[in-house]
Amino acid sequence: MPSNLSRYFQDISAKRLSQVDVEPSKSNQHEINTVKEQVALYGSEDRKFRGHFIYVSDDEEQVIEEQAELTYYDSRRKNPDRSPEYRIYYPSNSAIEKAQAGDMIVMARKSPDDLVMIIAPQDSTAERQLLWLFGLEEVGKKFETRDFTEDDRPLGFAGRYIIETLGIEVTDTEPDYLDGILATFGAVFPSTAEFSAYARSTLKEVQSVGQPDIAIMEWLEREELLFRTLENHLVGEKLAGGFADVDDFISFSLSVQNRRKSRAGYAFENHLSHVFDQHGIKYSRGQKTERNNKPDFLFPGIDQYRDDAFSVELLTMLGLKTSAKERWRQVLAEADRIARKHLMTLEPAISKNQTDEMIAQQLQLVIPDSLMETYQPDQQAGLMNLAGFIDHIRGKQSRG
């Protein structure tokens, strides 16, 4: 069943790192001071935490993770005449070494004894996503805390998306659908096109005409739920049967990860194609342009794009990225004839620095309505929803 934030985190504390916190030239203590609200969460006894450091940036290849034990203690315990001063000691590790003063750190407890230290660069998309996920407007130099056992919130698509970027497994499944899936496909993964169509068939009441932004997200979320349900079943069977050797296990694990990544992108394309079909929009999908580039969608089609006599003003290109981050620039080179590109993404809370750069590069960002709230108010004015994009295309095709 869909889950809440408390399923993954008990509480969090967030602040901006100071030079003393992270820079060896300023301090050799490897310690971070806490605030009284954290003491109320962690208790007054000295203790150890199983520590998990994560440095998460906008470069998806630069996520750094490391395990390290953390020590929480009162630095004045031997001086009872002075008020307590609690600190968290951390050992040197590659994740904290990437941090700079001004970056945000989030201390998030997954369980009473497990403390995750998440570090995100200042003004990055990763930072904006964490702020939104944990319900924080901004953080300063002292820790601000949230207790999710008292202030719980549903995750939704954006929340699940952000948690998975941290390498935390989202385990939502719906066992009630399993019998129907197995009866339709057997104990195998069907093609992405077949599975996308099947997901839509379980939501017969959802039609994209009149509500394309709602439809695309409901179809995507339903397919994700059904996929995880089938995957959970098939992986469970494989685990029960065992592996021939270590190589067999590694190969299987990689196949699971690769299937998840590729399936998400194809599902996005499949459902969006269905939206365009239901709206009577003309398009070509995955056709080659210059230098063997293959934009996801060309409107009204590849034949018109290759026809120099066809008006450039009536051509539109739409790229799709389930995760944009730094990869959005790839779209800029995919159709030379079209100066102003469109990109639709499921990435929540992209930083203002990034959206400003997109505007400067003549890239129009298309965001489903339900993800608009993850963006700052001054960003939302420059975003287009799916309904607006369809109106934009329909207007061009009525002229061509």
First to last CA, the chain: 47
- CA 360 centroid distance within chain: 24
Q: Which of 205, 185, 207 is nearest to 195 (CA)?
A: 185
Q: What are phi and psi of 80, to 5 degrees?
A: -65, -15
Spot the catalytic one: 55, 86, 283, 305.
Answer: 305
Q: Does residue 305 have an active-site annotation? A: yes
Positions marked active-site: 305
